[in-house]
Amino acid sequence: MNGTTTPDNAALQEAAKRHMWLHFTRHSSYAGADVPIIVRGEGQYVYDQHGKRYLDGLAGLFVSQIGHGRADVAEAAARQASELAYYPLWSYAHPRAIELAERLANYAPGDLNRVFFTTSGSEAVESAWKLAKQYFRLTGQPGRYKVLSRAIAYHGTSHGALAITGLPDIKIPFEPLPPGGVRVPNTNFYRAPEFVADDVAVFGRWAADEIERAIEREGPESVAAVYLEPVQNSGGCFPPPPGYFQRVREICDQYGVLLVSDEVICAFGRLGYMFGSDRYGYQPDVITFAKGVTSGYAPLGGMIVRDYLMEPYLRGETSFLHGVTFAGHPVSCAVALANLDVFEKEDLLGNVRANEGAFRATLERLSDLPIVGDIRGDGYFYGIEMVKDKATRETFDDAESERLLRGFLSHALFDAGLICRADDRGDPVIQLSPPLTCTQQHFDEMEQILRSVLTQAWSRI
């Protein structure tokens, strides 16, 4: 990526370096290198400013379910902008938001019938917390405000969402955060404590029971909700052990705690179903969503809520004291409807279900590499954990991880034409979450690039 080619690129580079503030980015790493500039997308691929093509193995950021460059979805946005570009959902409604709310309620499991729109995942996560707190006040349990979530889980970056996020490093600079965030273990079976490491169902039961222990420890009358992703992203794709969510549901019912399924990544086909909770057969009280609802053609998030939670808000002078200007933006809602039309016309859920076995099998070819410790995930959502010693599962120390991931892998994978995520927020992993339109040719391309780059990485250790 060093050097520049066209004058356009030089001007863009200069302006990017002078004026852009990139998210979660060490700007120092661009002191002697170009900022990667993605200019165009088509299907499963994106192109940089030099015309070089990359397989988008991360769907942007777990977003581009239908792939890039769909004119039909872009046209839906243009049509809506000319008809009604903006109107707020504060006391008013507009047709596209109504149609989308009804459609989402129809897709969602059980009596999740009420949709509160936001613009992002963090806002959805915050909104669910505020909904829970106000709900409990309205129903005579004002002491319930705490939220449980899992170690290393990412639930967003605004102060409330960050209090729920379980990644210490990204929280510390912003403390004190809103009080009430409590951590419970995640479902990383590869790193299960020894006394439950032999049987995944026993491990799952233990991890779920830890939620009960945390509720007891905190005082049940103080706990409002537990936030869980169907498959935990951060740490490298931890699927739920068999029976895990069923046990969590029992615990939530027993203690009157809301189960919030944070499906910002896992909804809209990522796991071959509209919602991850469908795949694993559990009933959440709230689903939070964003990302794939529009495949990124416009920003949108929200929460889908069970009827009983809306009940106290339907009476007298009560209202949910919460809102944001651009939530349920008409263009975003029109885009979401067009996106969901593509899901149905092209049977994207069917594509994921039919091909996920092949995706897994293709990635599992990489298990012959000494650096590959574990390959885990479901649907089109996989993490590959890298280890120093396969037999002992010894991981890399911080300095090695820094050298391996930031010093080599991220750049090498990108240079080789694969966009994926090399992440060391837990143990070092590579994450894949490609568009739902991918087929065997794309799985093979991912495997070949990963094989070559991981082999080089091993030789550098």
Ligand X SMILES: Cc1ncc(COP(=O)(O)O)c(C=O)c1O
- Residue 120 touches ligand X, criterion: CB under 6 A: yes
Q: Which is nearer to ligand X, 132 or 453 (CB)?
A: 132
Which one of 57, 60, 109, 121 is in contact with ligand X (CB under 6 A)? 121
What b/e string do you get for 329-364 counting C-beta neighbours within 10 Å, with b at 16 or more? bbbbbbbbbbbbebbeeeebbebbbebbeebbebbe
Interface with ligand X in residues 284-323 (CB under 6 A): 290, 301
Interface with ligand X in residues 154-213 (CB under 6 A): 154-156
Q: Which is nearer to ligand X, 107 or 154 (CB)?
A: 154
Which one of 64, 65, 80, 122 is in contact with ligand X (CB under 6 A)? 122
Q: How far is the CB of 124 from ligand X (least distance, A)?
A: 7
Q: Which is nearer to ligand X, 122 or 332 (CB)?
A: 122
The values of phi and psi at residue 317, to 5°, are -95, 10
- Residue 262 touches ligand X, criterion: CB under 6 A: yes
Q: How far is the CB of 120 from ligand X (least distance, A)?
A: 4
Write the DSSP assignment of 179-229 as a string of letters: TTEEEE----GGG--GGG-S-HHHHHHHHHHHHHHHHHHH-GGGEEEEEE-
Contact string (CB under 6 A) for ligand X, positions 426-455, x = contact: ------------------------------
Question: Residue 433 carries which DSSP code?
Answer: -
CB-neighbour burial class of residue 220 (10 A; exposed 0-12, middle 13-18, buried 19+):
middle
CA dist., res. 350 & res. 273, Å (int): 9
Which one of 125, 305, 333, 454 is in contact with ligand X (CB under 6 A)? 125
Tokens linked to 109 = 């499991």
Q: How far is the CB of 299 from ligand X (least distance, A)?
A: 8
CB-neighbour burial class of residue 209 (10 A; exposed 0-12, middle 13-18, buried 19+):
middle
Q: Which is nearer to ligand X, 60 or 272 (CB)?
A: 60
Taking the alpha carbons at both ends of the chain, their separation in whole angstroms is: 23
Point out which span in 121-129, 171-179, 217-225, 315-323 binds ligand X (CB under 6 A). 121-129
Which one of 101, 104, 264, 371 is in contact with ligand X (CB under 6 A)? 264
CA dist., res. 15 & res. 410, Å (int): 24
Whether 258 and 285 have beta carbons less than 8 Å apart is answered as: yes
Given the rule CB under 6 A, which residues bind ligand X? 120-122, 125, 154-156, 229, 233, 262, 264-265, 290, 301
